Every structure is written in structure tokens, then in C-alpha cells.
Structure 1
């Protein structure tokens, strides 16, 4: 079966392609290379022995999307990662996020709607919950007003998919994941942010390797045990495997509804200072950091209740925080030639 992975050379997309190819799927990857590199294709090939078909295409180009689907009418499923993904950047440049995250989704769905049947996996986010009132967060938690444009694009994206599924032959699974970190254990692929990292772990590893002078910790006055924000950090390989399981559920027509929603996380919350301490343990070195002002768009705490994914999908995160940080550090050292 041929599977389309949009944003396929990105962090989560590339790891998902590895798991798809390991399961025997033929993969077409689309990416505009705005936050990724062609070298990722070589990494995927080294791990799996096979290079996916690659199309450099910007999904904001509606005509290009239409032409792509005309030439590839035998696609059995789509996993849609293509999106801008940094909370802080979205606050500074909201229109970029609305164009990139909403328009691209609409153009892909317009083409899938033309098919007799289509299977669609959406890369959603725990940011749709805003600051949830109860921890851990279940899929039934109320959707709070978004705190960032990024979170809002994921809320709007989910609404669009739900409305389209009602009136078309598209079946969809929305995967709301928490904070993906780490890299493939081979260190052939990993997180490769362009410019200054917007996420915690690549900033930690870049500081550890000496690329950054010190790490900024945004606020230590939150109502948490150590005053820093709490998140649920999930190993990217565990996350990738969940996408393949969800895709098979749709392909085998095991879904009970036209649209299903699952949280993907570990179920454990870790503060920023706990992540720093865990990194210092696995890397055996002291990390330079300083406390700075809170960052707009950040919530206090978010960690998942994963009972639904554990029970219905039969999926469970296997790696610990230290496992994930160790793989991220191994990747950072490799790409810096250390």
C-alpha cells in the first residue's frame, strides 16, 4: 500500500516513515524543506535499506497539490505532519501559522474528498486543550480557548476535519501528542531545527555541545513543585509507532467512528528543571542555564491520560525520559562530529 506522508522529512515525519517502511509500506514523502534537509532521506535509507519517493512541494500551492494527487491516485492513506510548530514563533508571526497550518490542510482534504474513500491521520497537539483544568488530561477534557496561534491552528484543523468527515468518505484519526523528543537509536535521523531551537530539548543538547552559551528557562514562578513548567515528554520513536498502528486501524476498517481521537504521551509530567537534571545525568556534564521571564503562550502544566490509546490502539510509550534524552544527545554529538 502506498502512503503519503506530508512534512515527511521533518522530525516526527521522518521517524514515522522509518516505522512505515519497516512494516512494508511504500511511502511518498512531501516536504518543502523550509525546516528540514534532503540529508534526512539518506538517514532513512541507512536505517531501513530503502529510500522513500520524495516530492519537494509546498502544500500552500493549491495547483501543485491538485496536480500531485492527479498523478498519484493510488494513495491508500495520508499522514499529515506538514505544519509550522513553534508556540513562541506563532505568537510573533500568527499569519504564517494560519497560512501554513490551515491552507495546506484544506488543500489536501479537498483532494481526498474527491476519492471514493480516504484514510487520514492528523498530527494534532495537546495545545488544543489550552490550560486544562485537571491532570492528567483525557480526550474528553474541554477544549479551552487557545493560548497561542499554533494551538489555535490545531483546534481549527480538528474542527475542519470533523466537519469534512461528516459529509465525505474520509475516515480520520486525530493524534493529540504531547512533547516529542529524542532521536532514532541509530542516530541516523533526529531533530534538526534550523536556526535557534524553539523547543526545550534541542536547545539543551545544543547548549551541552557548546553551540549555545546557556539555556534560558522561561520562568520559575509557576505554581508547580519547582516553579518551572511541566510537560509530558514522549520519545519520537514511540510516537512514530503509534501513527502506524492508527493507520492500520483505518486501513483494516477497525475504526468505530468516522473520526477518532487519541492522546499520545507517557502519562508522566516532568518540569523543565527535571529535564535539565535528567540530561546532566545521561550526558555526565553540567548544563549552563539561567532563569528569564515567562514566555507568552506557555501554559503551566500538561501531561496525558493515555488509557484510551493503551486500550483501544494497544499502544503504550515504552521509553523513559532518560532514554529519550540519551538518544537526543547521541544525535547531537553525531551531527556536530563529536
Structure 2
């Protein structure tokens, strides 16, 4: 049985669904009480309401269930940043990560997977697809990549000293059902505007959006399936894996894909933007799991718009 922290979250719920579809039993661990996400309706998923920063409560889950693997997707970072209590926020973030690794050790799980981010590559040479063995700068521009770098280093130390099989997922920009307005890319906001027939609200973005801005964007169903394949692989040859599409998707491409489903969508963005894009090399992922992305931009946009028009809020 695979335990997924953050199992009702955006990527978490799709990962649980992918694991179930591959024949695994799953426990979704969630800090707050929520209704079952729509993507899990009718499934056999078990649910445990546990705050992973509560070590005793988390360890007790292993006394109620036989846990064979852990996928750790709950946020191990303070987001949004907490400027008035940074030390306490940092302590809670690290407590969650360390509690999960302690649980993995005590339960004797086969593999512990931990979510990282494409953001760890910011500041590296991105003139070619980014490989997992690229040297990373010691600094980071925001809390998420900062804590993910720390988490990767701590995970490596724990794996080396305990023998735990710990795998890091460097996840690309991800969009799709149950997502939210992302502060770093415009695709979800453009999709929501098209589905509602309104102008897109991009006020939440960290930087203004331009047509030529791009990023390795992965539809969440592909992200969840990639993580599930990494968790279930008989053996892995590496500790770190990029999870993405291996190509850049620009806002202009998103807009064109949207218009295939909604011809009158008001999703044009001004020209301009960054000439270079963060793109992940996913050779390791393909070679060790057989993964191939199933959703190109056009199929993803159509699927997401249909989901929203079916009455879902996100």
C-alpha cells in the first residue's frame, strides 16, 4: 500500500489516481478535512487525516496499515512566505520532511519519493534541456526552490546513512484539473478565462505575461502518472529524476491550443518575453520507467476546458 502525503492536493490527487489505475492500493494523507477530490470519485482510496508535522500521529498510521511505499507531495516549505515568523515556518517545514523520512525508515518501505521542483535549476545555463547532473547554484530566488534544494541534500544524506531508497522528483510547471492560478505561468488563468468566456485575470503573476514566454509545462495527468511509475519501478538507476515533457510550451502555443476548443476566446497576450526557457531533459525518466507524455498542448487544453465546463471550479 502506497501512502501519499498531500494526497488530496493538486498533483497528489492525480498521483493517487494514477497509482490506483496501475493496480496499487493507496492511502491519501491530508492535514485538513476535505471532500474526496472529483478525480478520486468512485475509487478505493483510503484516507487518513494527519498533519505530517505531528510525528506521533504520522507514525501511528503505520500501525493501522501496511505501508510499502511513500510519495511525499505535501508542502515541505513555507508558502506563501511567512515574513513575521520565518524561523517557526522553517522548523515546521523541516519537521514534516524529517517525520516522513523517519516513518519510511521505521515502516521499512521499499521507496520514498520526495517532490522537488524545476525551480532548483534557476540560475543555471538553460541553453539546452536541463539534466539532473547539472551543477546547481547554492542560492535560490524564492522559498520553494530554496527548501527543495535543502530537502534534496537532506534526503541524500539520509539515504546514504540509512540505506533508504529515496528518490527526488524535479517537477516541471504543472497545470490541469484541480489546479490553481499559478504565480509563475499564465496557462491556468488563460484556460479558466476561455472556459468562462471572460478576459484573463493575470494580476496574480509574479511577472507580466508575454506571448513568447515559455516553460516546460506538463499536464497534471502526465505528472501524476510519471510519479506513479517512478514509485512502482522495479529498480531505478538514479536518485533524481526530472518530471516534465522535455519541451518548452509558450503562452502563444497555449492560446492557439485554446482556440481549437474555444475559437472566440480572448486569450491574446502582448508580444515579447524571455528568449530562453527552462526545459527538462527527461531521458532518465523515459529510460527507467518507459514514461511518455500522453497530453500535447492541444489535447491538454481541450481536456481542461471540458473539465471546467462540466461544472468543476478548478
State TM-score, norm by structure 1: 0.79
- 8 Å CA contact 1:9–1:33 kept in 2: the answer is no
- 8 Å CA contact 1:128–1:143 kept in 2: the answer is yes
Q: 1:191 aligns with which of 159, 165, 178?
A: 178
**How many Å apart are 1:211 and its aligned residue?**
8.5
Aligned to 1:231: 215
Aligned to 2:41: 45
Tell me the matched-pair count.
304
Q: 1:127 aligns with which of 119, 129, 133?
A: 119
Equivalent-residue separation in structure 2 for 1:108 and 1:303 (angstroms): 30
1:306-317 to 2 correspondences below 5 Å: 306-317=282-293
Equivalent-residue separation in structure 1 for 2:257 and 2:83 (angstroms): 31
Aligned to 1:322: 298
**Residues 1:94 and 1:10: Cα distance change in structure 2 (over 3 Å):** farther
Aligned to 2:142: 148
- 8 Å CA contact 1:4–1:79 kept in 2: the answer is yes
- 8 Å CA contact 1:81–1:122 kept in 2: the answer is yes
Q: 1:282 aligns with which of 258, 261, 264?
A: 261
**Residues 1:119 and 1:276: Cα distance change in structure 2 (over 3 Å):** same
1:112 to 2:104 alignment: yes
Equivalent-residue separation in structure 1 for 2:260 and 2:267 (angstroms): 14
**Residues 1:288 and 1:263: Cα distance change in structure 2 (over 3 Å):** closer
**How many Å apart are 1:158 and its aligned residue?**
0.8
**How many Å apart are 1:84 and its aligned residue?**
6.8
1:203 to 2:200 alignment: no
**How many Å apart are 1:243 and its aligned residue?**
1.8
Aligned to 1:27: 26
**Residues 1:53 and 1:131: Cα distance change in structure 2 (over 3 Å):** same
Structure with greater contact order relative to length (CA < 8 Å, sep ≥ 6):
1
Which stretch of the first structure deviates more once superposed, 326-335 or 201-210? 201-210
Q: What per-residue deviation string (whole Å, max 9, x for no partner) do you get for residues 99-132 of structure 1?
A: 5643311111122222445410112111111133
1:178 to 2:172 alignment: yes
**How many Å apart are 1:86 and its aligned residue?**
9.9
Equivalent-residue separation in structure 1 for 2:117 and 2:194 (angstroms): 28
Aligned to 1:159: 153
Unmatched tracts of structure 1, length 5 or more: 183-189
**Residues 1:116 and 1:33: Cα distance change in structure 2 (over 3 Å):** closer
Equivalent-residue separation in structure 1 for 2:32 and 2:306 (angstroms): 24
Equivalent-residue separation in structure 2 for 1:201 and 1:53 (angstroms): 32
Q: What per-residue deviation string (whole Å, max 9, x for no partner) do you get for residues 277-319 of structure 1?
A: 322333222225666xx9xxx9962111112222222212122
**How many Å apart are 1:28 and its aligned residue?**
0.6
Equivalent-residue separation in structure 1 for 2:84 and 2:144 (angstroms): 10
**Residues 1:157 and 1:266: Cα distance change in structure 2 (over 3 Å):** same
SS at match of 2:174: strand
CA RMSD of aligned residues (A): 3.1
